[in-house]
Amino acid sequence: MQFQDMGLDPRLLRSVQHLGFARPTEIQQEAIPAVMVGRDLLVSSKTGSGKTLAYLLPMMQRLLKSRALSKQDARALILTPTRELAKQVYAQLRLFVANTPVTAVLLVGGENFNDQEKLLKRQPDIIVATPGRFVDHLEHKSVFLQGLEMLILDEADRMLDLGFLPQLTIINKAADHRLRQTLLFSATLEHTDLDALSLALLKNPFRVSVNSGHELHSDISQRFYFADHLTHKEALLAKLLQQESLKQLIIFTATRDDAGRLAEFCQQAGLPAIGLSARLNQAQRNKVMQDFASGKYQVLVTTDLASRGLDLLQVSHVINFDLPKHPEEYVHRIGRTGRAGAKGTAISLVGPKDWPALQKIEAFLRRPAEFSTLEGLTARFNGQPVVKMAPKKAAQTKAAKPGAGKATRVVAKPETSPTATAKRFFQGGDDGSAPVRRKKIQPE
């Protein structure tokens, strides 16, 4: 199917042409016709699948072709979990509203509330927002949703993770009428609270599942390295910076202190680098993103803040200096590279603290991680978890070996390779539980 076959308004087709997109992606082929016939949508799609256009195009089509339910109220609301993603969506939307009478505004936290109120007074047709700031406006009565025609939730699983369920419930109630069409996009549909949310929001939704988060992104090659400790991770990073042919690189860290420190580290290695952390105010964050996008910096070091919504085609590498706690986040981080058909490399450094997260990622992706080594930097740590002894057993050990010191933690003796451990793990089940093995009872 081609975009031309979808019955889209010529103005929208021109914008698609301007973007240089020859064919709709899989998700666009599935979602656009369903939305155009008025169906609600429940979509699970991997990052980078083209989901933004999958909702922007049919949303614009409805706004251009049908009469508004209300002259004053917003007609479409797009909610995203992070400010960065909201901006990304808004930037794409601007191209589609250009040359049409449709108007749009962006409402995210960290920016001036009064300025946003002034924008809302102009009664925009579309609002792109983060849920917290949007509800602030709703409660302040600077915006009304009685006439809302389309409610779109982008990355709904992430909104739930960030604790936005109360805000989503308020928004749903404020726009509760039978003419509303609702589209829900999520990286995974297996999120615990998602069933309840989709039940509350959606009417007989059309379901689309395109390459769910479990499936490996074929354009991204993934590598893992064991590391013993922080200094070891830094040594690995230094070597990787030297030997990889980097265009642009995003390094993800667990803490915002590390974001600044590692940016400095990369600078010293001769690569123009900048750190992005939640400690910066919104204007500073915007500047960092702009400078990275424009190529002024080769390396961006960040916490999970930038794992979603960044659409930068020059990012050849992602390095996880620390692994994220949630496996979905891993998928989103590595999805910052390998965008729109380009090849990408995702490298993760796995120390003892990262081990539980790695096991979750392997379970989520349903395959063991493949570990590599760098010459001279092989770790002693090889994936055997540090086992905490039960207090009773620890006490017994102490009693048995007087004077053995405070031996409350022991490292289990390696029995097999990490890959074999991972394989065994998979035979157990997706929830990370070990397989139940029963002793064979010998017949007497």
Buried b (16+ CB within 10 A) or exposed e, 67-99: eeeeeebbbbbbbbbbbbbbbbbbebbeebbee
Query: Taking the complex as a whole, how short is the minimal distance between the CB of residue 281 and ligand AMP, in angstroms?
Result: 26
- Residues 208 and 25: their CA atoms lie apart, in Å, by 13
DSSP secondary-structure letter at 431?
Answer: T
Interaction of residue 158 with ligand AMP, rule CB under 6 A:
no
Please identify, using beta-carbon distances, which residue of 311 and 354 lies nearer to ligand AMP.
Answer: 311
Query: Taking the complex as a whole, how short is the minimal distance between the CB of residue 53 and ligand AMP, in angstroms?
Result: 5
Considering only 32, 43, 44, 51, the residue that binds ligand AMP (CB under 6 A) is 51
- Residues 8 and 282: their CA atoms lie apart, in Å, by 36
Considering only 33, 50, 147, 428, the residue that binds ligand AMP (CB under 6 A) is 50
Binding residues for ligand AMP restricted to 296-355, rule: CB under 6 A: 311, 339-340
Stretch touching ligand AMP by CB under 6 A, among 16-24, 73-81, 196-204, 406-414: 16-24
What DSSP line would sit under 327-360, residue for residue?
Answer: HHHHHHHHTTSSGGG--EEEEEEE-GGGHHHHHH
Please identify, using beta-carbon distances, which residue of 87 and 339 lies nearer to ligand AMP.
Answer: 339
- Residues 69 and 7: their CA atoms lie apart, in Å, by 23
Query: Taking the complex as a whole, how short is the minimal distance between the CB of residue 254 and ligand AMP, in angstroms?
Result: 25
Interaction of residue 426 with ligand AMP, rule CB under 6 A:
no
Considering only 8, 15, 25, 254, the residue that binds ligand AMP (CB under 6 A) is 25
Paired with 224 in beta bridges are 348, 371
Q: Are strands 126-129 and 104-107 parallel, antiparallel or unpaired?
A: parallel
Strands, E, within 50-173: which ranges?
A: 76-79, 104-107, 126-129, 150-153
Stretch touching ligand AMP by CB under 6 A, among 7-15, 45-53, 66-74, 103-111: 45-53
Query: Taking the complex as a whole, how short is the minimal distance between the CB of residue 13 and ligand AMP, in angstroms?
Result: 12
**Contact yes or no for 4/22 (Cβ under 8 A):** no
- Residues 62 and 75: their CA atoms lie apart, in Å, by 10
- Residues 135 and 197: their CA atoms lie apart, in Å, by 17
Size of the site for ligand AMP (CB under 6 A): 14
Query: Taking the complex as a whole, how short is the minimal distance between the CB of residue 185 and ligand AMP, in angstroms?
Result: 9
Interaction of residue 188 with ligand AMP, rule CB under 6 A:
no
- Residues 30 and 11: their CA atoms lie apart, in Å, by 21
Interaction of residue 144 with ligand AMP, rule CB under 6 A:
no
Query: Taking the complex as a whole, how short is the minimal distance between the CB of residue 94 and ligand AMP, in angstroms?
Result: 13
**Contact yes or no for 331/213 (Cβ under 8 A):** yes
Query: Taking the complex as a whole, how short is the minimal distance between the CB of residue 121 and ligand AMP, in angstroms?
Result: 31
Please identify, using beta-carbon distances, which residue of 211 and 382 lies nearer to ligand AMP.
Answer: 211
Stretch touching ligand AMP by CB under 6 A, among 20-28, 63-71, 117-125, 229-237: 20-28
Paired with 299 in beta bridges are 249, 273
Stretch touching ligand AMP by CB under 6 A, among 23-31, 174-182, 264-272, 434-442: 23-31
How far CA 397 is from CA of 106, 299, 386, 413, in Å, comes to 62, 49, 17, 16
Considering only 8, 24, 194, 333, the residue that binds ligand AMP (CB under 6 A) is 24
Please identify, using beta-carbon distances, which residue of 3 and 226 lies nearer to ligand AMP.
Answer: 3
Query: Taking the complex as a whole, how short is the minimal distance between the CB of residue 18 and ligand AMP, in angstroms?
Result: 12
Q: Where are the alpha helices (DSSP H) in 105-229?
A: 113-121, 131-139, 156-161, 165-174, 194-201
Residues binding ligand AMP (CB under 6 A): 21, 23-25, 28, 48-53, 311, 339-340
